Amino acid sequence: MHTLELTVNGQTCRVEVGLKTTLLELLRDKLHITSPKVGCNTGDCGTCSVLLDGVLVRSCITNALSVQGKSVTTLEGITEPGDIHPLQKAFHEHYGSQCGFCTPGMILASKALLDVNPSPTRDEVKEALSGNLCRCTGYVKIIDSVLAAADEMKS
Amino acid sequence: MAEGEFYRAANPQEAAGLLAQHGGGARVLAGGTDLMVAINKRKFKPQVLIYLGDAGMSGISQEGDALLIGAATPLNEILASPLVADKAPLLAAAIKQMASPAIRNAGTIGGNLANASPAADTATPLLVLGASLKLVGAKGEREVPLAEFFTGPGQSVLGADEIIAQVKVPAQAAKAKWAYRKVGKRKAQSLSVVSVAVYCPLSGGKVSGAAIALGAVAPTPLLATEAAGLLNGKALDEATIAAAAKAAAGATSPIDDARGTAWYRKRASEAVVKQLLTELAG
């Protein structure tokens, strides 16, 4: 096993991982942070998405040892405990979530977009979410939610 | 069960030395977007991983009339680079259609080439621009034109103790027309069924030094040299375009797979080359 130090949602963690351990396994199995979901495990579906030093990545195909010294943000870390982020509020109000399995990845991909582009067009939202699959909503409600959150965050 | 070693190479030479020392069970790891998929699917069990993220192999700079792109530069960093937008917009256009933002944030240009997929989407623009690779091995380094790099599906001239350290991309000519198109099952997160890059420098209204490359239609990314030769010294008229498109399709040797048939790929190759050249002529 190899010892690894990283920051997760603002907290410094020291964990033991193997050579093949993914960031997703580290988060779920070692740290019990369960918002990143195990979907395809091949980088295709996007439900395991997290922010690595503020940049959107797939935790299922990120080798855990490659995140030594870096900072990871999951859905749990985008607000203070007990608070709700404008994106979460908008997904709730605009029915952007149905079964909920894709939602953590959708919200983090949306946050990655709004962090660099606070006033995206509908097409820019589609492009930003192009790697996140949803089998329930047909995407329309998700895009509505992101645009509503962008409006809310600007006001 | 014994766990293998994980090394953080400080530079490309150290990574190559570690590959030489550890042999077949060792792999270099950059973004992990191909290697970790193979590991998750249990197609490959690593004994040793050599991480390139701290090896000083990331970044884009200019040297004379060429761009130097570190092999471990993430694809999205290349897409966002003003230098690339200015000197090699064809490369940026191809990267924009690759995978999805999260994959492009991790996946690197060196990884895309080193895995030697016939469908590697950075290969076609780099081939038409005449890119070359700096390979660093345990016993020294060498420069290899990308046109001589690929030898088959997943196969290249990369030695067992060599890594790609840098990609050198000659700047596009100021008076050049270019176009790129990728045909996939869907827009995002999709492997190419056919991809085409065309590059036509112009001199006095005539094409001079044209290049056409096609992806996913041969055992390697393919430079259609004969087809491009038909364009040189000519204006892009209908007959010239039709002849070049036919020759480009003639150079392909596609296969049937889950994404498309050989029959479709051959016809799509001709159609896309024709389409792009017609756009350039207009």
Query: CATH 3.10.20.30 region(s) of chain A?
Result: 2-77
Task: Work out the pLDDT band at B141, boundaries 50, 70, 90.
Answer: very high
Query: Quick one: average pLDDT of A101-119?
Result: 98
**Does A2-77 carry CATH code 3.30.428.10?**
no
Backbone angles phi, psi at B216, to 5 degrees: 70, 20
* CB nearest to B46's CB, from A2, A20, A131: A20
Q: Kindly indicate whether the domain formed by A86-154 is annotated with CATH number 3.40.640.10.
A: no
Where do the domains of chain B lie? 5-51, 62-170, 176-281
Helix axes B262-281 and B238-251, enclosed angle (nearest 10): 150
Which of A2, A50, A58 is the best residue to mutate to test the B interface, defined by the most B CB atoms within 10 Å of its own CB? A58
Of B29, B101, B102, the CB nearest to A63: B29
pLDDT recorded at residue A93: 97
Q: 């329930």: which residue's tokens?
A: A136
Q: Is the pLDDT of residue B2 over 70?
A: no
Q: Tell me whether residues B32 and A68 touch, CB distance under 8 A.
A: no
Alpha-carbon gap: A60 to the closest alpha carbon of chain B (Å): 8
Mutate to test the interface with A, among B22, B35, B37 (most CBs of A within 10 A): B37
Domain boundaries B5-51, corresponding CATH code: 3.30.43.10
Q: How far is A17 from chain B (nearest CA, A)?
A: 10
User: Among A80, A128, A131, which residue's Cα sits nearest to residue A102?
Assistant: A131
Given an 8 Å threshold on Cβ–Cβ distance, is B102 in contact with A56? yes
pLDDT, mean over chain B: 96
Q: How far does the CA of residue A11 sit from the closest CA of chain B (Å)?
A: 23
Alpha carbons within 13 A on the beta-carbon side of A143: 15
ipTM, two decimals: 0.96
Q: Tell me the C-alpha distance between B269 and B192, whole Å.
A: 12
In whole angstroms, what is the distance from residue A139 CA to residue A106 CA?
Answer: 10
Mutation target to probe the A interface, by most A beta carbons within 10 A, among B33, B100, B187 is B100
Interface residues of chain B, partner chain A, Cβ below 8 Å: 3-6, 8, 29, 32-33, 35-37, 39-41, 45-46, 49, 51, 53, 99-103, 105-106, 187-189
Closest residue by Cα to residue B213 from B182, B169, B258, B234: B182
Give pLDDT, residue B3. Answer: 66
Predicted confidence (pLDDT) per residue in B62-90, tens digit: 999 999 999 999 999 999 999 999 999 99
pLDDT score recorded for residue B204: 85
Tokens 């034109």, residue located = B145
- Torsion angle defined by CA atoms of residues B276, B83, B119 and B198, in that order, rounded to the nearest 10 degrees: 20
Q: How many CA atoms lie within 13 A of B108 on its CB side?
A: 26
C-alpha distances (whole Å) from A28 to each of A32, A36, A133, B272 are 5, 8, 21, 45
Total Cβ atoms within 10 A of residue A55? 18
Which residues are CB-contacts of B135 (< 8 A; sequence separation ≥ 6)? B141, B142, B143, B144, B158, B159, B162, B163, B164, B165
Secondary structure letter of residue B142 according to DSSP = E
Look at the domain B176-281 and name its fold. Enolase-like; domain 1 (3.30.390)
| CB spacing of B49 vs A63 below 8 angstroms | yes
Query: Which of A41, A37, A100 lies closest to A74, judged by CA?
Result: A37
pLDDT at residue B96, as a whole number: 96
Q: What is the CATH number of domain B62-170?
A: 3.30.465.10
The pLDDT value given to residue B1: 41
* Phi then psi dihedrals of residue B102, to 5 deg: -65, -40
Task: Report residue B83 as tokens.
Answer: 């230098």
CATH 1.10.150.120 in chain A, residues?
86-154
